[in-house]
Amino acid sequence: MATLVFMTLMTSKIIFDFNKNSNIKEWRIVNDGVMGGLSEGSFTLSPDGHGLFEGEISLENNGGFTSVRHRFDKLQVTAYSYISIHLKGDGKKYQFRVKDDSSTNYSYINTFATSGEWEEIKVSLKDMYPSFRGRKLDLPNFSKEYIEEIVFLIGNKRTENFQLLIDKITLHQP
């Protein structure tokens, strides 16, 4: 007698899906003012319901970055191989960062360029490298079981205005 085994295959899991009713109060801006800089970023909902990360980068007082971060309950990622981000940038480079533990002082980083159009950015978890204050650490790439923080950061070592619209952030299986 054959036994049938039914499995639910979860090929993706939404981390955050922005819409006009999204609660973004858990998203926090961290500017370079934490080290004396003058850059200013903000995070709001656009009229169309997308996450809108925008502002101005200043190199004054040794500044040069701003970021927006979202902490959440530990999310198991062992079944997933990459994160896709549906976004519209301004042609500039950004970093996408994850932390497996929000209390650690380093992040795992992937840098991506934007085209100025709506696009899907795919970030392989295993290719994200550990970094602290702009320096790559001599540690293995991301191979953790969980994430509990995601971050978008801009810091291209130049004075510039920026605007990044974020629609959806999703974990995917291979």
Domains in the chain: ranges and CATH: 13-172 (2.60.120.430)
Q: Look at residues 98, 51, 53, 46 and name the one whose alpha carbon lies nearest to residue 71.
A: 98
pLDDT in tens, 121-174: 999 999 999 999 889 999 999 999 999 999 999 999 999 999 999 999 999 998
pLDDT in tens, 74-99: 999 999 999 999 999 999 999 999 99
Q: Which residues of 126-141 are buried (b: 16+ CB within 10 A; e: fewer)?
A: eebebbeeeeeeeeee
* This prediction's pTM: 0.93
Q: How far apart are the C-alpha atoms of 105 and 75, rounded to whole Å? A: 19
